[in-house]
């Protein structure tokens, strides 16, 4: 089945230690998104890629970076995680193009910062 | 500015009861899209439905139904004969479309279905 995969599902890191979260998709979608979701809150868009074009949200901290080496994969790098970065990180994809398309989400990676 | 309001923070019902989750949106766009997502305790956001602004036809899918009313800027979601497996957080979202289809989420409604 075509799907969005996130690895790992649970990640524990230490304060200040860089961490990378992974997302892959078999939908061949043009657009890939990264969201941060803290407890009891709605998902918050960090950035997205349309093909290779990177689009950062204005309020996304510089501590968060992303890479998309090819259509299938997208990575979220947190350069120096703080306690406030503990959250669920959700990856989503959509086809992109005219009109709109549904965003399909992966299962998420729950990040704990010690 | 675009905004989605889900006034119900938490709802608790007993199994087999019907329940309606409210969603009110604000937008100045003439073309827009509305979504409902379900987020069970596992965390994954599961797509339920998309509705285009030019299509006010209501939709029914099994026990789920959606009532879209442009006159009141509402897109409400009803679960008939609720089940324990319906327990989740439900998010309503709005998009103006475009190439990147940015979603504006409501704050979500936590639905607890008691056996």
The answer to whether the CB atoms of A102 and B47 lie below 8 A apart is yes
CA angle at A78 for the pair A34 and A23, rounded to the nearest 5°: 40
Tell me which chain A residue has its CA closest to the CA of residue B42.
A107
Do residues A104 and B44 make contact, with C-beta atoms less than 8 angstroms apart? no
Residues 31-70 of A with CB under 8 A from B: 31, 40-43, 45, 48, 50, 55
Tell me which chain B residue has its CA closest to the CA of residue A100.
B97
Instruction: Render pLDDT for A66-100 as a digit per residue (tens, 0 to 9).
Output: 999 999 999 999 999 999 999 999 999 998 876 66
Q: Which residues of chain B lie closer than 8 angstroms to A48, CB-CB?
A: 100, 102
Q: Does A96 touch chain B (CB under 8 A)?
A: yes
The single-letter DSSP state of residue A84 is: G
Burial of B5 per CB tally in 10 Å (0-12, 13-18, 19+)? middle
CA distance to A68, A72, B60, per residue, from A95 (Å): 16, 12, 25
% chain B with pLDDT above 70 = 98
What is the structure's pLDDT at B96?
83
What is the structure's pLDDT at B97?
74
CA angle at A66 for the pair A61 and A72, rounded to the nearest 5°: 150
CA A29 to chain centre: 15
The answer to whether the CB atoms of B33 and A100 lie below 8 A apart is yes
Do residues B27 and A91 make contact, with C-beta atoms less than 8 angstroms apart? no
Q: Which of A100, A102, A107 sits opposite B42 (nearest CB)?
A: A107
Cα radius of gyration (chain A): 13
The answer to whether the CB atoms of B103 and A48 lie below 8 A apart is no
Q: Which residue, among B48, B52, B101, would best test binding to A if mutated, counting the most A CBs under 10 Å from its CB?
A: B101
Q: Which of B45, B91, B99 sits opposite A97 (nearest CB)?
A: B99
Instruction: Render pLDDT for A26-49 as a digit per residue (tens, 0 to 9).
Output: 999 999 999 999 998 999 999 999
The answer to whether the CB atoms of B95 and A100 lie below 8 A apart is yes
In the Cβ-directed half-sphere of B36, how many Cα atoms lie within 13 Å? 26
The answer to whether the CB atoms of B97 and A97 lie below 8 A apart is no
Instruction: Render pLDDT for A5-15 as a digit per residue (tens, 0 to 9).
Output: 999 999 999 99
Pairing status of strand A87-94 against strand A104-105? antiparallel
């Amino acid at each position: 089945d075509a799907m969005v995969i996130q690895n790992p599902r649970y990640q524990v890191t230490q304060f200040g230690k860089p961490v990378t979260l992974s997302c892959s998709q078999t939908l061949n979608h043009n657009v890939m998104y990264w969201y941060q979701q803290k407890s009891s809150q709605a998902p918050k868009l960090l950035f997205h890629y349309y093909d290779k074009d990177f689009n950062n949200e204005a309020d996304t901290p510089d501590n968060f970076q992303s890479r998309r080496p090819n259509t299938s994969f997208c990575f979220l790098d947190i350069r120096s995680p703080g306690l406030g970065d503990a959250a669920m990180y959700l990856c989503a994809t959509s086809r992109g193009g005219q009109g709109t398309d549904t965003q399909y989400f992966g299962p998420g990676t729950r990040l704990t910062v010690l | 500015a675009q905004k989605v309001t889900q006034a119900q923070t938490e709802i608790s019902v007993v199994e087999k009861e019907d329940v309606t989750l409210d969603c009110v949106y604000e937008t100045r766009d003439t073309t827009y899209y509305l979504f409902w997502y379900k987020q069970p305790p596992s965390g994954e956001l599961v797509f339920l439905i998309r509705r285009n602004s030019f299509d006010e036809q209501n939709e029914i899918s099994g026990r789920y139904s959606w009532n879209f009313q442009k006159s009141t800027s509402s897109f409400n979601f009803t679960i008939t004969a609720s089940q324990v497996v319906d327990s989740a957080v439900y998010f309503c979202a709005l998009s103006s479309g475009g190439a990147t289809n940015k979603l504006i989420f409501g704050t979500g409604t936590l639905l607890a279905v008691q056996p």
